[in-house]
Amino acid sequence: MSSPAAARPRGRHFFANPGPTNIPDSILRAIDRGSIDFNDPEFTPVYDAAYAGVKRVLRTSQHLFMYNASGHGAWEASLTNLMSPGDTILVLESGYFSDEWAEMARGHGLNVRVLAADWRRGVDIADVRKALDADTAHAIKAVCVVHNETSTGMMQSLPAIRDAIDAARHPALFLADTISSLGSLEFRMDDWKIDCVVGGSQKGLMLPTGMSFTGVSEKAMAAHANAKLRRFYFDWTMMLNRPQKSFIGTIPVHVFYGLRESIRLIDEEGLDNVIARHTRLAEATRRAVGVWAGNNGPHLFCTAPDRYSNSVTAILMPDGSSADALRKTVRDRFNVSLGGGLGKLGGRVFRIGHLGDLNEPMLLGALTAIEMALRIEGIPHGRGGVEAAMAFLAGE
Ligand code: PLP
């Protein structure tokens, strides 16, 4: 028999993972209710408000389809609704999640071209242009980009990639994964002419995991009409024929009560203020890491300052120190949860999620726990990272 898990220290569990994220109490209260028939007229305004709210956060007036699935479901919907067997897509390598999306596409029989990149800085935009210019036959049907690479803490400029597609006069669809950027970082589906946006419930929208969605442009709907990959549960044409214009099967009513409250919270704060808060908290995190990097300590994984993510920071451990041992100390001693390294970054990187329902003391609590654990573990680092974060947040 396995031994029981050690009891967590008392006090609130500090959750500093880059998704799922903290769920505000008011969302928990909104979800905490009895069942209701999803065709009940009492539910219709809840659904409508939440649906319209997600479109506002996407900044789109086009189509939205939602699924009872985590982000992987929306990834699958984006590919199967837009592509046919053997179609070619171009995936811009950014890290673990771009690799996984590419792998899913291969699994669906697509011909995947990867624009390879160093995970610490991502692709060069000039190379995107070159790859599209070289595709004179227009074999590439879609360009797939992870807006905010959650595994590496790197954000890519979607407007710059849009410009590269336009400059090459290439007709490819533009697909963007916004799973860890939506509701946290600046994002504009219609202005940036994104054809398919993949989003999920459990990050900037502050909801439980389990619902995902795709914003879809008119251009993508036209491509969808000719797309032949097999699909059923995720089929947009079937969804369009449903009264709710989304969901095949039972609608997760509780998620919608939560989603309506999530949208209310975002509206109350103002989306621009939400984005500004994320920018401030991210900068404070980087100030702390910048100090820890002294004495050959843990340092930022992303090496491109103009691409630092404002929703997640990935931190590379010095050689000989384990990120997982540090995370274990942080969790066991201080009841703080951090994200681990994904794929080839396993054990070498830990990640601080600073997105969703988060304020200064919550972030400082997590940073303090990390700095204490660096001391406890005897990991070389510069002292005073939390002080630097405080000084920044105090406006000094
Ligand atoms: N894409 C990105 C950028 C992510 O961060 C994640 C999950 O963290 C996914 C896709 C996969 O989403 P899910 O785990 O909800 O299936």
Q: pLDDT tens, 262-318? A: 999 999 999 999 999 999 999 999 999 999 999 999 999 999 999 999 999 999 999
pLDDT at position 2:
52
pLDDT at position 3:
56
Cα dist from 157 to 51, 176, 242, 256, 370, whole Å: 27, 11, 35, 31, 30
Using the mean position of ligand 1's atoms as its centre, give its distance from the Cα of residue 71 in Å: 5
Q: pLDDT tens, 340-381? A: 999 999 999 999 999 999 999 999 999 999 999 999 999 999
In angstroms and rounded to an integer, the radius of gyration of the C-alpha atoms of the chain is 21
Using the mean position of ligand 1's atoms as its centre, give its distance from the Cα of residue 199 in Å: 9
Count of residues making up the chain = 396
- Domains of the chain listed by start with CATH number: 25-267 (3.40.640.10), 271-393 (3.90.1150.10)
pLDDT at position 73:
98
pLDDT at position 8:
81
Which atom of ligand 1 sits closest to the CA of residue 73?
A: 16
Helix (H), strand (E), coil (C) string for the chain: CCCCCCCCCCCCCEEECCCCCCCCHHHHHHHCCCCCCCCCCCCHHHHHHHHHHHHHHHCCCCEEEEECCCHHHHHHHHHHHHCCCCCEEEEECCCHHHHHHHHHHHHCCCEEEEECCCCCCCCCHHHHHHHHHHCCCCCEEEEEEECEECCCCEECCHHHHHHHHHHCCCCCEEEEECCCCCCCCCCCCCCCCCCEEEEECCCCCCCCCCCEEEEECHHHHHHHCCCCCCCCCCCHHHHHCCCCCCCCCCCCHHHHHHHHHHHHHHHHHCHHHHHHHHHHHHHHHHHHHHHHCHHHCCEECCCCHHHECCCEEEEECCCCCCHHHHHHHHHHHHCEEEEECCHHHCCCEEEEECCCCCCHHHHHHHHHHHHHHHHHCCCCCCCCHHHHHHHHHCCC
- Per-residue pLDDT band for 336 (boundaries 50, 70, 90) equals very high
How high does pLDDT run on average in the chain?
Answer: 97
pLDDT at residue 52 tops 60: yes
Using the mean position of ligand 1's atoms as its centre, give its distance from the Cα of residue 137 in Å: 33
Which atom of ligand 1 sits closest to the CA of residue 149?
A: 3
Residue 299's nearest CA partner among 285, 309, 282, 311 is: 285
Query: Do the beta carbons of residue 71 and residue 209 sit within 8 Å?
Result: no
pLDDT at residue 1 tops 60: no
| Best mutation site among 70, 178, 179 for ligand 1 pocket (most ligand atoms within 8 Å of CB) | 179
Using the mean position of ligand 1's atoms as its centre, give its distance from the Cα of residue 102 in Å: 13
Write the residue with the smallest CA distance to atom 14 of ligand 1: 71
Average pLDDT estimate for 322-327: 98
pLDDT at residue 245 tops 90: no
Using the mean position of ligand 1's atoms as its centre, give its distance from the Cα of residue 18 in Å: 10
| Pairing mode of beta strands 196-200, 212-216 | antiparallel
Phi, psi of 215, deg, nearest 5: -85, 135
Q: pLDDT tens, 7-35? A: 788 899 999 999 999 999 999 999 999 99
pLDDT at position 367:
98
Write the residue with the smallest CA distance to atom 8 of ligand 1: 19
Write the residue with the smallest CA distance to atom 5 of ligand 1: 150
Which atom of ligand 1 sits closest to the CA of residue 202?
A: 15
Using the mean position of ligand 1's atoms as its centre, give its distance from the Cα of residue 55 in Å: 20
Pocket of ligand 1 (CB under 6 A): 19, 70-72, 97, 146, 150, 177, 179-180, 200
pLDDT at residue 6 tops 80: no
pLDDT at position 9:
87
Which atom of ligand 1 sits closest to the CA of residue 148?
A: 3
Write the residue with the smallest CA distance to atom 2 of ligand 1: 179
- Per-residue pLDDT band for 223 (boundaries 50, 70, 90) equals very high
Query: How does 59-69 read in b/e, with b if 16+ C-beta sit within 10 Å?
Result: bbebbbbbbbb
Q: pLDDT tens, 136-165? A: 999 999 999 999 999 999 999 999 999 999
Give the CA count within 13 Å in the CB-facing half-sphere of 115. Answer: 25
pLDDT at residue 192 tops 90: yes
